[in-house]
Structures are given as C-alpha cells and as structure tokens.
C-alpha cells in the first residue's frame, strides 16, 4: 500500500504514434509528442560539435544510469520530441519502439519516458507515483519489464498499469462496453465487462492512422504529386506576397527520416480533407466529385478528389488498399485483415450470449483515427445491416474532440487522482518485498 | 479484482438497506451515491413500497451519476405474480467525466456487496431505462 501524500501522480499513455503525458487530475495531457525517435549511430558519426548544438536532443547514454541490456546495439544517440525530430540531421534514422502493439526496443521507450519526465513535465520521477496505460494485449513479461524499469531505474514510489480499453470504458461511465480504439499503428476492438477485458474476444488489425497516411501518400504519388519534406527546400519572399522555392540537397538524409517528414505532411492532408463515405466506396460513383484544394508547405496547391473518401474507406474494406498503386507490401497481410464492422461483430460473437446485447448498445470509439469525420455514423450504419435484428446498435463517441482523442489518458488522470485509489498503487516497498511479478496481482 | 478499480469502500448501511429491500420488502427502491470525502458509497434515498417506477426515475439526478436498486413487480404471460431486483448504473451522458470515471471504476466492488441482484442495467440516458426496457428484461 502506498501512503498517498499530496504529491500528484504522473499519467503516461504511450501509443504507437503519440505519447501523451501529464499530471493526474488535469483535463488533458501536458505533453503530446511522437512515439518515434531519431537515432544516430555513434560508430558512424563521432562529431562532438553535433552533440552540443542539438538543443532539445536527449542523450540517454549521458544520463549516467546503467542499462541492463541492449549494450550489443552499440552506442547511439537518440533524439526525442517533436522539436528534436523536426530538425534534420545527417544519418539520423527514425525508429519506433513499438511493433504490432508490442514494445520491441526498451531503450527507446526508456528515452521517451525520460524525455517526458525531465523535459516536458519537469518532474523528478522519484517523487511521483506513475500510472501507465497499457494495451490490452500486453504480455506478462512486458509488464514485469515495465515494473522493473520504473522501480529500479526511475525509482518511482508507486506504479499502476491500467488497461487502455478499461480506462476508455470507465471514462464514458460504462463498466461494460465494446471499445473500438483506432490509433496510429493499429485498431483494436476490446470487450470490457465489469472492468475486465475479455482477452479471448479482443480483435486487432494493423490498419490505423499511419496505414491510411501511407495510402494517401501512395495514391498522391501515383497521380504524380510528390510531397517535398519541409527540410528539402527554402522559401524566400522575393517581393511582398511573392515566394520563390529553392530546393536544398542533403545527401546524408536517411530514407526513414525522409519518409517520416513526408508522412507528417500526408497525415495533415488526411486529417484536413478525409471523410468516411456514407456507403462503401465505389470508384465510378466518386469519379466526378468536386476537388478539394490543399496547400503543401512548398506553396504548391494540390487537389484531392475521390481519395478523400477512398482512403478512409480502407478502414471498412481493407482490400481497397490493394487498388492503390505501390501498396504491394499490404498484399502479404491482406487475407487476415478484417474491416472494422467485421471486427466488431466477430469480437462480440466471441463473448458470452448474455452480454452481447449490452455490448452492441455501447460501442465506444476512441483514438485519433476514430475522430475521422462521419466514421461513427458509417460504422453504426454498417453494423445495423450486419448485426442480429434484435440488437440495439449504438456507437458512441464523446462530442468533445479532446475527450475522444485522449480518452485513455483522461481516464487515467481521473483514476490516479481519486482519494480512494491511493491504496491501490503497487508501491516500491511491495516491489522490494515481492518482486516484479507482483504486478500481476496488483494490476490484474 | 477488476483492472483499474477505484478502491472505493461501501458503507454498511448500503448492505443493510438492500437486505431490507430483498427480505422484508419495505423499500421499493434505493438510490446510492459516492461520498468522496469519506471515500464510501452511501445510501442517498429510499423509496417506500407503494412508490411507482416514475417516482424512482425522477429521483435520479439528470446530470450526475448514481447507483440504484429497484424491486420490480410484474405479471408473467401465465398470469403469475413475480418480482425481480434490478441494479441500475446511472451515468448520464451529460454528467462530468470525473463523475463517470468515479462510478464506473467503483461499480464492480460495490455490486459484489449486494447479494441478490437479478438483472443489471447500465443507462446513460432515460430511454435506456424506460419501463418498456425494464419489463422486457424482467421477463
């Protein structure tokens, strides 16, 4: 038991695309930054001058704390945060710590936590209990590893691991619901019953915001539109209101950084113009729809037509992605990927008959991609057609866009600030007495 | 134990009044609220046996969450007099997120204290706990 003093807890929701971090009790996360980091191999580039002017760069190797593993990977310098990533550097690769919802590189996760504590929130982790949101599919090893890192390295006084889906469900006032969380890297459908995630019925697919961004980019490319990364040109105002764009060449830019920079732009295009179509996308029906203009950072204005509807429809009908040129990489996984309505129905059908009715009437949307315009209406419509007639289908999303995007974080923020919750923490003393595996008991 | 439970305790009176409703049938309904200052679920309101379902629904606040128990009398198709005890988690859409989180994360533990609930409903607007729905769930 952790004797809850007046120090507020820190809440972190590390998603596959964005990391949300902030103080418990607040309405929204203080810091929201990419979950990817820039990495420069120190074997290749050993330039101390480069290190000094990196500014907001974060060198996890210089923090003076030992690392228990990953030593074999050699020395590398990691850059965390939107600002540090926004700055192009020679040979800097962009890496993600998470693959298919599972942490594959703890070193990067560590650097992200460190960045959140020391540069965004300006707190000493020794003084604050930590509530971390975790995916429903998190394995026992992953949870123990998390506990170990938090207690041993950051010396946190107390820890709690809360399941994403449960937090979203509770924050909507429901102990039982079907949570459809469409984030950056994946989409997960998880039934929650009285605060338990029904693991056997969880469905997930790799189609999330980033996949849609990829579709948007490839589709634009096939129409001859190439997105110039922000670093690759300079714009000068030659006369008032008259701009000249000059290309700048940086031969040492990595492919992954170029892609990252292009995706930032493609993702903005997607968020600005896309809208889920009311009925399944049909190429011929959309061939004459009016074009929507979008101004790229280099001043070039592009026009987006059918893609506005086609790209979001991939969520509902993944095989549509195969009609986009150069999306071949998708073909390997295509047969196993289901559309959103099928995932929902499959998941509900794996649950006990007694609660199916309740789940159909409380389908909760969460995550960035779920905020897509008309997505809620379309999902409801598709489900009405495919669900049993007796089911009362109701798809819900918070009217407030902050609440919708950050429902997991907000749920965690409230939970960690409740007076009664202070007795629920997994405390440092308990960790020392029972070890990391005790996390399974404290945070089931 | 469910994940992310709030740790909220339950006042003994809740169990006592529930037992009275179940065994002696001297209450039609009970409304419970969470008193954050003492970190307990407490009894807010009791309804006498002759009160109607409408009287019960109107005793739930429009913008705040509550838990409630209702002893529902009905007649089956075979003309048989029966009653069922309903547990209702009331979390109106218009209530604050904090209130929703508080009640949802405390529900599992609270419900375990009330032994004898036959039907459970979660309602986020009055239509989800209309008399028709209650009737259809009772049969």
Tokens of A431: 């960790």
In angstroms, rounded to a whole number, what is the distance separating the alpha carbons of residues A95 and A73? 14
- Residue range A291-302: mean pLDDT, rounded: 92
Q: Is A414–B104 a contact, with Cβ atoms under 8 angstroms apart?
A: no
pLDDT of A199 over the 50 cut: yes
- Residue range A410-436: mean pLDDT, rounded: 95
In angstroms, rounded to a whole number, what is the distance separating the alpha carbons of residues A193 and B9? 21
Give chain A positions within 8 Å (CB) of B111.
194
Q: Is A443–B106 a contact, with Cβ atoms under 8 angstroms apart?
A: no
Place of tokens 């550097």: A89
Would you say the pTM of this structure is higher than 0.95? no
> What pLDDT sits at residue A45?
46
pLDDT of A155 over the 90 cut: yes
Q: Could you tell me where the DSSP H helices lie in A104-208?
A: 106-115, 140-148, 164-171
In angstroms, rounded to a whole number, what is the distance separating the alpha carbons of residues A30 and A116? 10
What residues have CB less than 8 Å from A415, skipping those under 6 apart? A24, A131, A162, A167, A170, A421, B4, B6, B101, B105
pLDDT of B1 over the 70 cut: no
Q: What are phi and psi for residue B69, nearest 5 degrees?
A: -125, 135
Q: What is the pLDDT of residues B89-106, one digit of tens each?
A: 999 999 999 999 999 999
As a dihedral over the C-alpha atoms of residue A208, residue A213, residue A215, residue A220, rounded to 10 degrees, the angle is 170
Considering only the beta carbons, identify the residue of A176, A195, A358 that sits closest to B4: A195
What residues have CB less than 8 Å from A333, skipping those under 6 apart? A206
Least confident of A45-49, A184-188, B78-82: A45-49
- The distance of A414 to chain B (nearest Cα, Å) reads 6
Tokens of A307: 């893609």
pLDDT of B55 over the 90 cut: yes
User: Phi-psi bin for A194: left (phi > 0), alpha (psi -120 to 50), beta?
Assistant: left
**Longest alpha-carbon distance in chain A:** 71
Considering only the beta carbons, identify the residue of A162, A173, A410 that sits closest to B3: A162
Tokens of A349: 């059908």
Burial class (CB in 10 A: 0-12, 13-18, 19+), B79: exposed
Between A439 and A69, residue with greater pLDDT? A439
Considering only the beta carbons, identify the residue of B9, B39, B104 that sits closest to A173: B104
Q: Is A358–B36 a contact, with Cβ atoms under 8 angstroms apart?
A: no
Which of B89, B99, B104 to substitute to test the interface with A, most A CBs within 10 Å? Answer: B104
DSSP result, A209-263: HHHHHHHHHHHHHHTT--PPPGGGEEEEEEETTEEEEEE---TT--HHHHHHHHH
B36: nearest CA partner in chain A? A419
Over its C-alpha atoms, chain A yields an Rg (Å, rounded) of 23
Strands A102-103 vs A242-247: parallel, antiparallel or unpaired = unpaired
**Please, which residues bridge with residue A247 across strands?**
A233
Least confident of A160-169, A234-243, A359-368: A234-243
- The distance of B103 to chain A (nearest Cα, Å) reads 7
What residues have CB less than 8 Å from A72, skipping those under 6 apart? none
Tell me what ipTM this predicted complex has.
Answer: 0.93
> What pLDDT sits at residue A84?
93
Question: Helix A255-273 crosses helix A209-222 at what angle (to 10 degrees)?
Answer: 100
> What pLDDT sits at residue A71?
38
Confidence tier at A73 by pLDDT (50, 70, 90): low
Q: How many CB atoms within 10 Å of residue A102?
A: 13
DSSP result, A346-408: HHHHTS-HHHHHHHHT-EEEESSGGGSTTHHHHHHHHHHHHS-TT----EE--SSHHHHHTHH
B65: nearest CA partner in chain A? A173
């Amino acid at each position: 038991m952790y004797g809850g003093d007046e120090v507020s807890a820190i809440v972190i929701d590390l998603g596959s695309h964005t990391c949300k971090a902030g103080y418990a009790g607040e309405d929204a996360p203080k810091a929201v930054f990419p979950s990817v980091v820039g990495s420069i191999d120190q074997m290749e580039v050993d330039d101390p001058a480069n290190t000094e002017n990196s500014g907001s760069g974060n060198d996890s190797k210089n923090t003076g704390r030992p690392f228990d593993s990953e030593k074999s990977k050699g020395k590398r310098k990691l850059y965390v945060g939107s600002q540090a990533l926004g700055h192009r550097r020679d040979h800097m690769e962009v890496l993600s710590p998470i693959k298919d919802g599972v942490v594959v590189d703890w070193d990067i996760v560590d650097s992200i936590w460190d960045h959140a504590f020391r540069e965004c929130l300006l707190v000493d982790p020794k003084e604050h209990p930590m509530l971390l949101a975790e995916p429903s599919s998190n394995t026992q090893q992953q949870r123990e590893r998390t506990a170990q890192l938090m207690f041993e390295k950051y010396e946190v006084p107390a820890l709690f691991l809360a399941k994403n889906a449960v937090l979203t469900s509770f924050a909507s006032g429901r102990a039982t619901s079907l949570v459809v969380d469409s984030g950056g890297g994946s989409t997960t459908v998880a039934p929650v019953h009285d605060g338990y995630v029904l693991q056997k019925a969880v469905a997930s697919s790799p189609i999330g915001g980033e996949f849609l961004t990829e579709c948007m980019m490839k589709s634009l490319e096939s129409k001859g539109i190439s997105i110039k990364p922000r670093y690759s040109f300079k714009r000068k105002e030659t006369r008032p209101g008259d701009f000249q764009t000059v290309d700048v060449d940086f031969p040492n830019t990595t492919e992954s950084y170029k892609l990252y920079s292009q995706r930032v732009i493609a993702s903005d295009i997607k968020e600005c113009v896309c809208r889920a179509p009311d009925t399944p996308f049909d190429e011929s029906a959309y061939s004459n729809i009016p074009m929507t203009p979008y101004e790229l950072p280099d001043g070039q204005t592009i026009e987006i037509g059918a893609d506005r509807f086609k790209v979001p429809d991939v969520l509902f009908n993944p095989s549509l992605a195969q009609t986009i040129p150069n999306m071949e990489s998708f073909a390997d996984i295509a047969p196993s990927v289901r559309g959103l309505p099928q995932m929902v129905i499959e998941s509900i059908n794996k649950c006990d008959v007694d609660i199916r009715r309740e789940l159909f009437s409380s389908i909760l949307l969460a995550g960035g991609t779920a905020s897509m315009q008309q997505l809620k209406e379309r999902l409801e419509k598709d489900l009405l057609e495919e669900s049993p007639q007796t089911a009362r289908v109701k798809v819900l999303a918070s009217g407030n866009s902050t609440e919708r995007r950050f429902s997991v974080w907000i749920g965690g923020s409230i939970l960690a600030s409740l007076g009664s919750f202070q007795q629920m923490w997994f405390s440092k003393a308990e960790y020392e007495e029972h070890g990391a595996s005790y996390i399974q008991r404290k945070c089931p | 134990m469910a994940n992310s439970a709030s740790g909220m305790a339950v006042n003994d009176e809740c169990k006592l009044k529930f037992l009275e409703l179940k065994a002696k049938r001297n209450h039609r309904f009970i409304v419970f609220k969470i008193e954050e200052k003492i970190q307990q679920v407490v009894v807010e309101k009791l309804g006498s046996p002759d009160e109607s379902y409408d009287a019960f629904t109107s005793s739930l606040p429009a913008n705040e969450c509550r838990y409630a128990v209702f002893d529902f009398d009905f007649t089956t198709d075979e003309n048989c007099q029966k009653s069922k005890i309903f547990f209702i988690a009331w979390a109106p859409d218009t209530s604050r997120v904090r209130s929703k989180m508080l009640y949802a994360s405390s529900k599992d533990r609270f419900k375990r204290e009330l032994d004898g609930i036959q039907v459970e409903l979660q309602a986020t607007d009055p239509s989800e706990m209309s008399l028709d729905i209650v009737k259809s769930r009772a049969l």
